Structure formats: C-alpha cells, structure tokens
Amino acid sequence: MRGPHNIWRLIRTGATLERTGAMNVVLDAFQAPPSLRIVAKALGWPFKWAGLKGDPSMPPATRALTALGPAYIKFGQILSTRPDVVGDELAVQLRVLQDKLPPFSMEEARETIESELQMPVEAAFAEIGPPVAAASIAQVHRGKLVESGEDVAIKVLRPGIEKAFRKDIDAFYLAARIVEIFSPGSRRLHPTEVIEHFEGVVNGELDFRLESSAAAEFAANTKGDAGFQVPEIKWFLSSRRVMTLGWAQGVPAGDNDALDAAGHDRRALGERVLKLFLQHALRDGYFHADMHQGNLKVAPNGDIIAIDFGIMGRLDAYTRRVYAEILFGFIRKDYRRVAEVHFEAGYVPADRDVDEFARALRAVGEPIFGMDATRISMGRLLTYLFEVTERFGMETRTELILLQRTMVVVEGVARSLNPHINIWEVAQPVVESYITNNIGPKALLGDLAKTVRIVSRFGPRLPQMAEAALIRQTNPKAPTRTRRWTHPLIMMLVGGGLVLLGMVFESLL
C-alpha cells in the first residue's frame, strides 16, 4: 500500500488541521518559527476544502486528530502529558483522547465477543454494561462473570482498526522517506527505522493475546512492589480481539480533584510513579511503555493500578547498565563520566571530542539539577538536547525509542500529580541501588560465573576445538582430527574444572 496515493493523505493531514482550526493552535503551542508557519500554511490552506471536518463539538486539536485516525490519536495521547511543552490549552484538549472517544455500538461489541470466544455472551458474562472507556484502538465494558460473579473489564478491539492503522502507517513511511530525501541531515535519526519500530509496536497492540501475555509477565515481575497492582488476566475469556481481566477499582490518575477528595497524597503518588518506572526499567528490563494518566488508577488503599499493556518496553542487561550510569552521572554532576559512557556505548561517534561533549552535557544538566518541576522548561531543554545530538552526530537508537518516550510521559504524569517534584531526588535512591547491585565487583563476579557456566557446557568439545584451531594456524593442509586430545579422561577434567570454577564464582556472590 506504500505508494504515491499516500501523498494525498499527507496533504489531507495539513488540510484537516487548517479546516478544524487546529493549525494555529499547534503552531503556537510549539512556538513554530515564521518559516515553518509559512510552509505549513502553504500545504494546508489551498486544500482546506479537502480536510476532514471532524466533530465540531470537540476542541480544534482533538477534533483534527480524532478525524485523522488512530495513529494520530496515539501521538496526541503522548503530548497530552506535556503541558510544559505544548502549553496548558493544547494539553487539556489532547487529554480527552485518552479515554473519551466516541464508542462503537453494543451490537458490534457483542458480535466481536461471541465470534472471538465462540460462545454466546450470556454463557460467559452474567452482566455486560455499556462502554466505560473508548480509546483509539479498543473500548472497555464492565461485566460480571457467570461462574464467580467477579467484576471484570472486557476489552474489545474496534471494528476495522487494523485497516485504519495500516493506512496511517503507510502515510508515515512516505513522510519518513521524503524527510530522508530532502533533509540529508536527518538521516542520522533513521526516520524509516523509527516508523518500522512504531509499526511493530502497533501490530503487537492490535493482538490481545500478546497483550495478555505481556500483562502476565509484568504482574509476575512486579508482584513484590509495594503500592502497585496489575489486574489478573482471565485467559479462558481472552483471544486476539477480546481480553478479559479483573476490574480495576479506583480513581483515574489524571483527576486531581477526585484524588484530593478521596484523601490521596498526590505528592507521594507522583514520586511513586517515577520510582516504579525506574525500578521496572532498571531492575527488570521490562516496563509499561504507555504510562499516561488514562492508563493509571489509584485504588482506595492508595495503590497505583496499571492497565492497558499493549505497549511494553524491554531492555537488555547491557543497555540497562549504560542507562543507569548515565542517570547516575547526571545525579552526581559527573558530566565527564556521562560523556565517556556515551562514547563507550557507541552512542557518539569515536572521532568526536569527549571533553566538548561533556561540556555540552553540563549545559543540559546544570539548569535543571536540583530544580523542582515548576522551574524547568522541558520545551527549551528538549530543543537544546536535539541541537546537541545533531552537533555530535548521535544517531537514533531504535531500541531506546520506547524508553525515551516513556520517560517523557512518566515525568509528565509525576509533574501533573506534584508540580514541585524534584526528579533527581526521587531518582537517586533507585539508581544508586541498581548501581550497587549491578555495576562493580559483585556484578563482575556474577558475569564471570555466567560466562563460565556457558563455556562449561562445551567442556567435552573444547580439546577438539582448541586443537583444530592450532592445527589450522600452523598447518592449514593438515587433517584436523586427532585422537591425542580427545581422551575421555582429558574431556572430563576440562569440563569438570569449568563447572567447578562456575560453582566457586556463584558461592562468592
């Protein structure tokens, strides 16, 4: 489907922003320079007639994104948690995208449930109510199980959503390709790879079997986390387009008035959201990657309940250590070490000057270190960060896209709960704990033990492998098979020695 016809979809995007009145709202929110305003108007105004009308009862930005489709809605959801970046007016407009979109009919929902579960609705649910939340991909109904009477949430995929997402993503591919052709400097950001990554995430979110699996893994990882809950998945009533899980009873995390009325400590909640995200990313390498206010509730006992597990992030052990060292360096204001970590990890080309990079990082960290959220302009900070990455030739790391995006979202949620939160003070104990357990002598011993265990599995084959390598080195034409080093006793001694060495390392941990 990726063809020239997608040019029309891009033009219609600008035309829709113009027709709904969202063009000026968006340009003002991002403080767009005059040159960009001229280009945007040139693309949108002549084709205003072709723009989608949307729902006139909605605010301009919400109206435009809702009319354009689910991929645009997803983008708006992210921005809704950043009033410091897009301004209070636009953030309020976009927040409606999280759980207040027009629902599809009960008839369509029941048809999907019966088709997917292959049973009448009444055989599974004693009750099923009207939709309580309607988002870009699915809507949620409150129901009651026939067997136990337990209250559950029934998540049903929107009819035709797969086709709608394909259309949006195809247009994004075209936009990325155009950017790469006409803006060579942007190629270091790998726009096409970014869209490929986004497509993979979206495809996973459109299959509730994968989401159910993600929720189960997340629940297992976090079952010991105080003040945090994950609803239980009802596997026998879940499938590709329907997911059933325990009902999350609580106050939406984005409703500050309701939180205050319920007696919850918003300052403590803001700190806990940030700490939990860091714990999950660093400790587990598996984190909720869509933690906006619409996906968080606060239970009557004060626990934070996470819902919607369609987008999850995963980090390998090495990336987590790099991430922790960078955070720890900022916390200690050791910008030289932060710069060195970037070079060691290959995030910055080796031909760049590490001292210059450290100085640029200091210019990023010093203005925000020790400041509460009300005194930090994330808009200016992000602008400068982009300038730094461009200056030093840093390329986009697709494996870090979800982490970077979620960091922005989570910090925005914490800020909305507690405008005076100091992110460095909150992050410090979590990062220090990870550093202590995962970077240093103890971690080195653990790595060596794992390496020895892996090598020990090849113990019986090591003599032949070593001898073959030596023979090839000294006489490439000589036969590689010989019986001199393949005696069973020698193989037992080598393999057993490696296993014993692994056990010694483990005992030291």
Could you read off the pLDDT of 126-145 as tens digits, one per residue?
999 999 988 888 999 999 99
Q: Is the pLDDT of residue 491 over 50?
A: no
3-state SS string for 360-387: HHHHHHCCCCCCCHHHCCHHHHHHHHHH
| Alpha carbons 244 and 256: distance in angstroms, whole number | 28
Q: Is the pLDDT of residue 257 over 70?
A: yes
The 3-state DSSP class for residue 29 equals helix
| Alpha carbons 322 and 324: distance in angstroms, whole number | 5
Please name the amino acid found at residue 138: A
DSSP conformational letter for 233: B
Average pLDDT for 386-401: 69
Confidence of residue 485 (pLDDT cuts 50, 70, 90): very low
Q: List the domain boundaries for the chain.
A: 5-98, 248-439, 442-508
pLDDT of residue 375: 63
Q: Percentage of the chain with pLDDT > 70?
A: 74
Which residue has tokens 């955070």? 327
By CB atoms closer than 10 A (0-12, 13-18, 19+), residue 212 is: buried
In the beta sheet, which residues pair with residue 298? 251, 304
| Alpha carbons 413 and 80: distance in angstroms, whole number | 10
pLDDT of residue 142: 96
Judged by phi (left if over 0) then psi (alpha if -120 to 50, else beta), residue 118 lies in: left
- Alpha-helical runs (H) found in 280-400: 317-331, 335-344, 354-365, 378-391
Could you read off the pLDDT of 44-82 as tens digits, one per residue?
778 888 888 888 888 888 889 888 888 788 777 766 656
Average pLDDT for 308-314: 88
pLDDT of residue 156: 96
288 and 182 Cβ atoms separated by less than 8 Å: no
Q: Percentage of the chain with pLDDT > 90?
A: 30
Average pLDDT for 385-397: 70
Q: Is the pLDDT of residue 163 over 80?
A: yes
Average pLDDT for 464-485: 63
Q: Which of 116-125, 186-195, 357-366 has the lowest mean pLDDT?
A: 186-195
Geometric angle at alpha carbon 485, from 482 and 487, rounded to 5°:
105
* Confidence (pTM): 0.73
pLDDT of residue 99: 55
| Alpha carbons 100 and 114: distance in angstroms, whole number | 25
Average pLDDT for 201-217: 89
Average pLDDT for 465-486: 61
pLDDT of residue 483: 47
Q: Which residues of 116-130 are buried (b: 16+ CB within 10 A; e: fewer)?
A: bbeeebeebbeebee
Q: Mean pLDDT of all residues in the chain?
A: 80
Q: Which of 100-114, 174-188, 293-307, 374-388 has the lowest mean pLDDT?
A: 374-388
115 and 126 Cβ atoms separated by less than 8 Å: no
What amino acid positions are annotated as catalytic residues? 290
pLDDT of residue 212: 95
Confidence of residue 120 (pLDDT cuts 50, 70, 90): very high
DSSP string spanning 73-105? HHHHHHHTT-HHHH-HHHHHHHHGGGTBSPPPP
The 3-state DSSP class for residue 296 equals strand
